[in-house]
A and B are shown apart, each in its own frame.
Chain A
Amino acid sequence: MTTTVKTKKLSLVQAVTDGLRTMLAEHEDVVLLGQDIGKNGGVFRATEGLFEQFGEDRVIDTPLAESGMIGTSIGLAMNGFRPVVEMQFFGFIYPGFNQLVTHATRIRARTLGRYHVPMVIRAPYGAGVRAPEIHSDSMEALFTHVPGLKVVVPSNPYDAKGLLIAAIEDPDPVLFLEPMKVYRAGRAEVPETKYTVEIGKAEKLSEGEDVTVLAWGAMVPTMKKAAKNAEKALGISCDVIDVRTLYPLDKETISESVQKTGRVVIVHEAHETGGVSGEIASLINDTSFLYLRSPIARVTGFDTPVPVFSLENDYLPNEQKIERAIEKVVRF
């Protein structure tokens, strides 16, 4: 017997809305909090229509205060609710950092499990959309270093809905980063009903023999194009992986691929030093050192602030930079 899953074509941001709607409808205890998320539907329209459908007690416009949003959500979360907080932009999370690091992620340990904090923080992030300063930051590495926090980054509509639902159902706090650059980059078939994509699992996007290329978020489409170019122009075949969860990393998928190819290029738009690429390289060192045939290469942003947009094309990894890195590790 085959069952047909009804799907609809959605952009990544619409898939986020669909995931939120699904969970609001299914669970009375899910509440959304954020600035301008109610009547306005969020600056990116991620909550569009939800205020009308679920009312102001479920889709809550809060005062402009990131610590306030995260802090009150902690109280709501440990007293029976599942708050989903929208940071208007990821770069605005810094005033809320204290609540996340000193409380949301510690309350379970501090009480030996008596209280826990099932909350999600959603944040649009990343450069390439010609935004003002701070709006384009990609500080995911700051958060992968925080014990007690999972960090998830979808790159396509299907994953966005499935990972978001998994994040809301997770009994612990999850930071959910939404790449602005690909919010509306294209549409894909997304199941209309509820489904989850497991947190902690990477996705192999294409099979190759010569080199493993990894990225997440808005760098995924760029990585895919670069890998195709390398294949066409240089005859190099790439194992292409969307990392999807930055903490905990998917040890199996990454090591298995590296043990096959022996070469690695890691791509992220965040600053190089202390970036998650370093952690992935260390994981590869632990699991696959003797399989490596060349040093691991990274293609990243610089150790500079993410610039204002007149310079962002210089800052960001692009197809050429990635292709050069692929060629370098293969010709080593």
Chain B
Amino acid sequence: MKDESFFPIQQIVNGEGKLVEKSFEGSLTDELVKVMYEKMLRARLFDRKGVNLQRQGRIGTYVPFEGQEAAQIGSASALEEGDWMFPTYRDHGATMTYGQSLSRIFLYWKGRYEGGVPPEGKHIFPPAVPIASQLLHATGAAWAEKKKGSDRAAIVYFGDGATSEGDFHEGMNFASVFDVPVVFFNQNNGFAISVPMSRQMKSKTIAQKALAYDMESVRVDGNDVFAVYFETKKALERARQGNGPTLIEAVTWRYGAHTTSDDPSKYRDNDKENEVRREKADPLLRVERYMKANGIADDGWFNNLEKALAEEIEKAVSDMESYPNVDVNDLFDHVFEHPTWTIEQQKQTYLAAKGGKDE
């Protein structure tokens, strides 16, 4: 049996905002620290807006991630131009960090296909709702890069529950057998909706699951954006150099529900305990403390940043809400490159009944 000490949690800045891994002192430049904080705050404000929009009925079900900013932003920041990202439906922090526009993420939750389309030239895959199946797509896409002889890599996101799925194991196995440049990035939140990790697996860590595939793996404090960033960078570098895949377990903690339709009070700690825990765990608070203690930024900087980000998010909301009406052709025209006669016939019949107009 392996216990947690077999895969110690890598940490650079702790909950109090103190640098605990001195060797990184020179790597934490003021610019890096500020950029990471900025990206995390952007994601957090976006996320809160997403929940509000759902409550107001302006978008459909929303999937929040508050508390997971360090895991998502740290990992996504490690990617380079041309790499591939395969997110889950929860990884808006990661996708926006890698270039997805905020209004498109809102459009996804407004039930628009446009929300699955990445910006031109960006390899961001649309969120996948089936659990763990995207690990194989990432493996295949990364395998293709290897076959082309490029030094591009892929990163794929998944939660703790996903590691119970067959596709997790098939993805790890294929990547390992064919030495594919892919990074498996797990956000271990401790819960798959209501089922706690202890019920999901007997393994004490997710990182140890890589042992079966003779794959590199690491367990990282998923609330420490710097630890996540540097470990992911290392894993991507290993992939680029042809040294195979890595499994990263980012141990994190999401404050909110699985989705806006879920009621976590039935299976999770009460609010008071959450508040106490949050003081220590919060990924933004610790960077804020670090920045203030080291004189990197003052209150004015934080206030200005929050104001600018709030404006950016409001703009994204208005872009989403003023987006052109949904085009009924999108229902029919992208099933095949050329619609089959059945689809074409169904389309014409429907449009004729509608009076040939989109409403």
In the complex, are the beta carbons of B130 and A80 less than 8 A apart?
A: no
Given the known interface contacts A67-B167, A71-B170, the answer about A248 and B340 at a Cβ–Cβ threshold of 8 Å is yes
- Please name all residues of chain A whose beta carbon is closer than 8 Å to the beta carbon of B135 when the two chains form the complex: 71
In the complex, are the beta carbons of A102 and B137 less than 8 A apart?
A: no
Q: Is B101 an interface residue (CB 8 A)?
A: no
Given the known interface contacts A62-B174, A172-B336, the answer about A75 and B138 at a Cβ–Cβ threshold of 8 Å is yes
In the complex, are the beta carbons of B140 and A72 less than 8 A apart?
A: yes
In the complex, are the beta carbons of A68 and B174 less than 8 A apart?
A: yes
In the complex, are the beta carbons of A148 and B336 less than 8 A apart?
A: yes
A44 to B177, CA, bound (A): 25
In the complex, are the beta carbons of A114 and B117 less than 8 A apart?
A: yes
Question: What is the size category of the interface that chain B forms with chain A?
Answer: 35 or more
Q: Is B114 an interface residue (CB 8 A)?
A: yes
Q: Is A111 an interface residue (CB 8 A)?
A: yes
Q: Total number of A-B contacts with CB less than 8 angstroms?
A: 131
Q: Is B142 an interface residue (CB 8 A)?
A: yes
- Please name all residues of chain B whose beta carbon is closer than 8 Å to the beta carbon of A78 when the two chains form the complex: 137, 140-141
- Please name all residues of chain A whose beta carbon is closer than 8 Å to the beta carbon of B337 when the two chains form the complex: 108, 113, 116, 171-172
In the complex, are the beta carbons of A73 and B118 less than 8 A apart?
A: no
Q: How far is the CB of B53 from chain A (nearest CB, A)?
A: 22
Given the known interface contacts A65-B174, A110-B126, the answer about A71 and B340 at a Cβ–Cβ threshold of 8 Å is no
In the complex, are the beta carbons of A72 and B174 less than 8 A apart?
A: yes
In the complex, are the beta carbons of B140 and A114 less than 8 A apart?
A: no
- Please name all residues of chain A whose beta carbon is closer than 8 Å to the beta carbon of B147 when the two chains form the complex: 31, 57, 76, 81
In the complex, are the beta carbons of A71 and B145 less than 8 A apart?
A: no
In the complex, are the beta carbons of B116 and A68 less than 8 A apart?
A: no
Cβ contact of B171, chosen from A68, A107, A172, A251, cutoff 8 A: A68
Q: Is B341 an interface residue (CB 8 A)?
A: yes
Q: Is B157 an interface residue (CB 8 A)?
A: no
Given the known interface contacts A63-B174, A108-B334, A108-B336, the answer about A71 and B141 at a Cβ–Cβ threshold of 8 Å is no
- Please name all residues of chain A whose beta carbon is closer than 8 Å to the beta carbon of B116 when the two chains form the complex: 110-112, 114
Q: Is A98 an interface residue (CB 8 A)?
A: yes
A65 to B133, CA, bound (A): 13
- Please name all residues of chain A whose beta carbon is closer than 8 Å to the beta carbon of B56 when the two chains form the complex: none
A115 to B60, CA, bound (A): 25
- Please name all residues of chain B whose beta carbon is closer than 8 Å to the beta carbon of A72 when the two chains form the complex: 136-137, 139-140, 143, 171, 174
Given the known interface contacts A72-B174, A251-B341, the answer about A67 and B141 at a Cβ–Cβ threshold of 8 Å is no
- Please name all residues of chain A whose beta carbon is closer than 8 Å to the beta carbon of B126 when the two chains form the complex: 107, 110-111
For B146, the closest partner residue in chain A by CB is: A57
A111 to B118, CA, bound (A): 8
Chain A: residues with Cβ within 8 Å of the partner, total of 43
B128, B135, B147 — which one has the most chain A CB atoms within 10 A of its CB?
B147
Q: Is B111 an interface residue (CB 8 A)?
A: no
For A61, the closest partner residue in chain B by CB is: B177
In the complex, are the beta carbons of A75 and B340 less than 8 A apart?
A: no
- Please name all residues of chain B whose beta carbon is closer than 8 Å to the beta carbon of A150 when the two chains form the complex: 336, 340
In A103-129, the 8 Å CB interface with B consists of: 103, 107-116
For B182, the closest partner residue in chain A by CB is: A75
A74 to B126, CA, bound (A): 14
Cβ contact of A71, chosen from B125, B136, B144, B333, cutoff 8 A: B136
In the complex, are the beta carbons of B143 and A75 less than 8 A apart?
A: yes
In the complex, are the beta carbons of B174 and A80 less than 8 A apart?
A: no
Q: Is A79 an interface residue (CB 8 A)?
A: yes
Q: How far is the CB of B98 from chain A (nearest CB, A)?
A: 15
- Please name all residues of chain B whose beta carbon is closer than 8 Å to the beta carbon of A248 when the two chains form the complex: 340-342
- Please name all residues of chain A whose beta carbon is closer than 8 Å to the beta carbon of B333 when the two chains form the complex: 113
Contact with A along B98-111 (1 / 0, CB 8 A): 00000000000000
Known: A71-B135, A98-B167, A251-B341. 12 other contacts (CB 8 A): A63-B177, A65-B170, A72-B171, A75-B140, A76-B147, A99-B133, A99-B167, A108-B336, A109-B334, A112-B113, A112-B117, A248-B340
- Interface residues of chain B, those whose CB is within 8 Å of chain A, are 84, 113-114, 116-118, 125-126, 128-130, 133, 135-145, 147-148, 166-167, 170-171, 173-174, 177, 330, 333-337, 340-342
Closest 9 CB pairs of A and B: A75-B140, A71-B136, A68-B170, A79-B144, A72-B140, A248-B340, A75-B141, A75-B137, A171-B337
- Interface residues of chain A, those whose CB is within 8 Å of chain B, are 31, 57, 62-63, 65, 67-68, 70-81, 95, 98-99, 102-103, 107-116, 147-148, 150, 171-172, 200, 247-248, 251
> 18 A–B contact pairs at CB < 8 A?
A57-B147, A67-B133, A71-B140, A72-B137, A74-B136, A75-B136, A75-B140, A75-B141, A79-B84, A80-B144, A80-B148, A81-B144, A81-B147, A99-B133, A110-B116, A112-B113, A116-B337, A200-B340
